[in-house]
Structure 1
Amino acid sequence: MPTRHLGVVLKGYPRLSETFIAQELRELEARGFTLTLFSLRHPTDLERHPVHDEIRAHVIYLPEYLYQEPWRVLRATLAALRRPAALWATWRLFLSDLVRDFTPNRVRRFGQALVLAAECPPEIEQLYVHFIHTPGSVTRYAARLTGLPWAASAHAKDVWTQPEWEIRAKLADMQWLATCTRANHDYLSALPEGRGKVHLVYHGISFARFPPPPTAPAARDGSDPARPVELLSVGRAVAKKGYDDLLAALATLPAGLSWRLTHIGGGALLAELKHQAETLGLTDRIRWLGALPQQEVLAAYRTADLFVLPCKVVDDGDRDGLPNVLMEAQSQAVCCLSTRLSGIPELIEDGVSGVLVEAGDVAALGTELTRLMADPGLRQRLAQAGAARVRSEFAMERGIERLLDCFDPPPPATEAACPVSPSTPH
């Protein structure tokens, strides 16, 4: 029988930038699961997506910083002392990790795990965590304290910025791990502890929430200043999104080409990017709208001529996996320009269903921006191919079915859980 009451551990909830997680939670509830959410952080977004209001799960916010709720941490510690064997085993595990990662964050993870274990409803049968770095550590300690099995979903930063020793230790402890790109899958499943445990599960998107656009895209080619080509990018203002490269590329475009860029998303680098745009003389051509709810993002897709997301790898190894915003844009028949990075080529076939350039290549990005802006016919052909591909290969329902196979694996005599379908794109 599948697990029916899950404790789901999240870094923060709700978050506008993690629609794919909310979508999954909603679908798990629709398939009969009861969820209790444990969030390591309180929400910071002022808005919510409609899907958040459809999720019925109770949310328990763990102490974001231990000193803020000392009595809660103390009560959890006293509760753990009533299970000395489990506490001692978890303490030894924590100390082993602390020797290798002697940081306050490591101590906070252990404290949060104590609270999670103490406040975990007794009916929970399994813990399941999104992101295997900090949330994964909290879940691993809590699972050891409670004796519950645990599983995980890995995405991007949590895979590529975490030391290999820690990933291997977590893989050894967990039941299974789902990940959303073939690049992640190949890396994680090649680790000895990952063999047979790592499964490729694309998030996909809900076409009920992203139905086909009601009208065909405009035929703007940048020749009329009154009708500039509408560029759109949706993503947090963080280094791995490559927005500094985008601004540098926009500064190289021909003077006679009329365009306007709309950016949707919050992020720590917004002020820095606005300053860069001002330095490059681009301020009047760019609208910075900040984070917006899903219905407003959908409206923006439907007025865009070209979607641009020049993702790249940053110094600490952080990178995107397969950004859902690319699927969302393609679902609205918007031509996409991105980079050959991580799982993006699994979605966009260069020259067939969109255009890809090498990550960090500003000159190539500028060249393709110029070519695509000036040729609405080419944009439309690529956009239609992208829309067909995302609908055939990246429907949310396909990913949910594979995830359900992970929670409810077949008997040992049959194939392993979460098989990668022969039709899964490479």
Structure 2
Amino acid sequence: MIAANHQSSESVSQAFVTPRVAYMMSRFPKITETFILYEMLAAEEAGARVEVFPLRREKTKKMHPEAVDFVDRAHFLPLMSLEIVRDNLRMLLTHPLLWLGTFWTVVRANIGCRRFLVGALVVFPTCVTLARRMRQLKIDHIHAHFASHPAAAAWIIHQFSGIPYSFVAHGSDLHRDRHMLSEKVRDAAFVVAISNYNRQTILNDTGEQNSDKVKVIHCGVNPADFRPVQPSATAMSSGLLHVLCIGTLHEVKGQTYLIDAVKTVTENGVQMKLHLVGDGPDQQMLERQVAEAGLTDVVVFEGRRDRHEIIQLLQAADILVTPSVPTANGRREGIPVVLMEGMASAVPVISSRLSGIPELVQHEVNGLLTEPGDTAAIAAALQRLCEDADLRRRFGAAGQKTVEDHFCLDAGVRKVLSHICGGEAPMNYHHSVQYAPTAASPKSHVLEEVTL
């Protein structure tokens, strides 16, 4: 048994240095979730051994080139198979109280949210098999991105395997619904909030007793990847200002307000192009809005772009706008990573005074903030930047320094790995799988008994 093996002090030390981490996410490879991909790459560069366990395989024809290797070795499982049925029957027959108790907690904690309840029940059987596989792979820690379905899956796997887990709370995954959040936080080794705003939201919901467990670790980028080019080398710098808005074409991104703002600014005589980068459910509606506003020569729908194409667009851009808004069903962004990418490229930014965004964009210091959905304010901010090249340069330089100092990817990854290797676990945690040669708990024996 893994936990019962007496490891030498050297092997225990090695486990701290090179932990085997299972990264979990809803879908992979999702082109809009570059922050997960590049975090995994940075974690491997820092010495961790990364295994990828997506809940679903994303059906896509376009992915970032760096994702190909992870896709090739990812652990994709169907929602149901003979293997999954066999694992669940064995667990139910040999440890009925554990299986039934875990199942009941999932049901009880998610009653009241159909989306969470159905999602958790759908992945529950698969998680039993994932728990067995992770034990066989000698996974040291599970790190789930998103406080919704991936965190629930990590919690279920933890119940059957004893492997410690953590999860990251980003935006809509936390703010749209918080069913089962207390259980997820209670049993986690630690929780990552990407902003102080998110941290306080978690503590307001689960209690201040979790204050030591909930860590603020910002998402970040590698600033060296986004060095700006000189204006003289830019194909777009010909008197026509180019404004970027990058993100899924969805209500929460607020593109509709930006289009109205661009109409106002162009009517005031500013020559500009708005590049909407991405696709999504609102594309046809936004295309109609552009046509009705007479902006077909001003607004360009760029479609999906990979990270390298995004870097090129940012290097040639004059302004980046992320006009995020909260939606009627509770969706809201955390801190859009594209803001960090734009600021790292020394592009001046306009964004919304929403969630954790003011922790990155400081109004009148390294960018401009408006109230969410305030078309007139967005138009005023856009016109101001369009007419003041010195202000654009000042905000661009200040934003670049902000990212370098406080939103660096490598620094964030080192913090996550430090918590993983430092045993940041609850006081009542005793399922030591790899980190220390302690006796196995009853729960940590379960899958070994089932799979013999």
Taking structure 2 as the reference length, the TM-score comes to 0.83
Pick aligned residue for 2:185 from 167, 171, 175 = 171
1:339 offset after TM fit, Å? 1.0
User: 3-state SS of the aligned residue for 2:221?
Assistant: coil
Equivalent residue number for residue 319 of structure 1: 332
User: 3-state SS of the aligned residue for 2:270?
Assistant: coil
Preserved contact between residue 28 and residue 71 of structure 2 (Cα < 8 Å)? no
Residue type matched to 2:180 in 1? E
Pick aligned residue for 1:204 from 207, 216, 220 = 220
Report the identity percentage: 27
Matched, 1:250 2:265: no
1:260 offset after TM fit, Å? 0.6
Q: Name which of structure 1's ranges 380-389 and 318-327 shifts more when overlaid on structure 2.
A: 380-389
Equivalent residue number for residue 8 of structure 2: none
Preserved contact between residue 129 and residue 135 of structure 1 (Cα < 8 Å)? yes
Pick aligned residue for 2:201 from 187, 190, 198 = 187
Pick aligned residue for 1:361 from 354, 369, 374 = 374
Equivalent residue number for residue 77 of structure 1: 88
Equivalent residue number for residue 241 of structure 2: 229
1:290-369 equivalence runs, <5 A: 290-369=303-382
Partner Cα distance (1:254, 1:22) in 2: 38
1:257-272 equivalence runs, <5 A: 257-272=270-285
Pick aligned residue for 1:108 from 122, 133, 154 = 122
User: 3-state SS of the aligned residue for 1:138?
Assistant: helix
1:114 offset after TM fit, Å? 2.8
User: 3-state SS of the aligned residue for 2:33?
Assistant: helix
Preserved contact between residue 135 and residue 161 of structure 2 (Cα < 8 Å)? no
Distance 1:268 1:94, change over 3 A: same
Distance 1:220 1:78, change over 3 A: closer
Matched, 1:377 2:398: no
Partner Cα distance (1:18, 1:30) in 2: 19
Equivalent residue number for residue 11 of structure 1: 26
Structure number with higher helix proportion: 2
Equivalent residue number for residue 390 of structure 1: 403
Matched, 1:240 2:252: yes
Q: Name which of structure 1's ranges 279-288 and 353-362 shifts more when overlaid on structure 2.
A: 279-288
Partner Cα distance (2:180, 2:252) in 1: 23
User: 3-state SS of the aligned residue for 1:7?
Assistant: strand
User: 3-state SS of the aligned residue for 2:212?
Assistant: coil
Partner Cα distance (1:398, 1:391) in 2: 10
User: 3-state SS of the aligned residue for 1:60?
Assistant: coil
Matched, 1:145 2:160: yes
1:122-137 equivalence runs, <5 A: 122=136, 123-137=138-152
Partner Cα distance (1:394, 1:54) in 2: 26
User: 3-state SS of the aligned residue for 2:396?
Assistant: helix
Preserved contact between residue 236 and residue 316 of structure 2 (Cα < 8 Å)? no
Partner Cα distance (1:56, 1:13) in 2: 8
Preserved contact between residue 189 and residue 197 of structure 1 (Cα < 8 Å)? no
Partner Cα distance (1:335, 1:195) in 2: 35
Equivalent residue number for residue 86 of structure 1: 98
Q: Name which of structure 1's ranges 1-10 and 285-294 shifts more when overlaid on structure 2.
A: 1-10
Residue type matched to 2:255 in 1? Y
Preserved contact between residue 36 and residue 57 of structure 1 (Cα < 8 Å)? no
Partner Cα distance (1:310, 1:171) in 2: 31
1:207 offset after TM fit, Å? 2.3
Residue type matched to 1:201 in 2? I
Partner Cα distance (1:14, 1:317) in 2: 25
Residue type matched to 1:292 in 2? R
Matched, 1:97 2:97: no
Residue type matched to 1:188 in 2? I
Preserved contact between residue 126 and residue 148 of structure 1 (Cα < 8 Å)? yes
Partner Cα distance (2:28, 2:271) in 1: 40
Distance 1:250 1:56, change over 3 A: closer
Distance 1:238 1:115, change over 3 A: farther
Pick aligned residue for 1:162 from 177, 189, 196 = 177
Matched, 1:289 2:302: yes
Equivalent residue number for residue 119 of structure 1: 133
Equivalent residue number for residue 424 of structure 1: none
User: 3-state SS of the aligned residue for 1:17?
Assistant: coil
Partner Cα distance (2:424, 2:260) in 1: 55
Partner Cα distance (1:61, 1:404) in 2: 24
Equivalent residue number for residue 445 of structure 2: none
Partner Cα distance (2:424, 2:191) in 1: 18
Q: Unpaired runs of 5+ in structure 2? A: 1-12, 426-452
Partner Cα distance (1:76, 1:261) in 2: 53
Partner Cα distance (1:313, 1:367) in 2: 21
Which digits, 9 at most, give the CA deviation of each residue in 1:73-131, with x for residues without a partner? 32332342344343233122223235444553332132332332243352112222110
Preserved contact between residue 220 and residue 376 of structure 1 (Cα < 8 Å)? no
1:395-414 equivalence runs, <5 A: 395-409=408-422
Question: What is the count of residue pairs matched by the alignment?
Answer: 403
Distance 1:257 1:301, change over 3 A: same
Residue type matched to 2:134 in 1? C
Task: Give the structure, 1 or 2, with the largest relative contact order (CA under 8 Å, sep 6 or more).
Answer: 2
Preserved contact between residue 213 and residue 333 of structure 1 (Cα < 8 Å)? no
Q: Name which of structure 1's ranges 339-348 and 392-401 shifts more when overlaid on structure 2.
A: 392-401
Partner Cα distance (2:408, 2:282) in 1: 32
Preserved contact between residue 262 and residue 289 of structure 1 (Cα < 8 Å)? yes
Residue type matched to 1:117 in 2? A
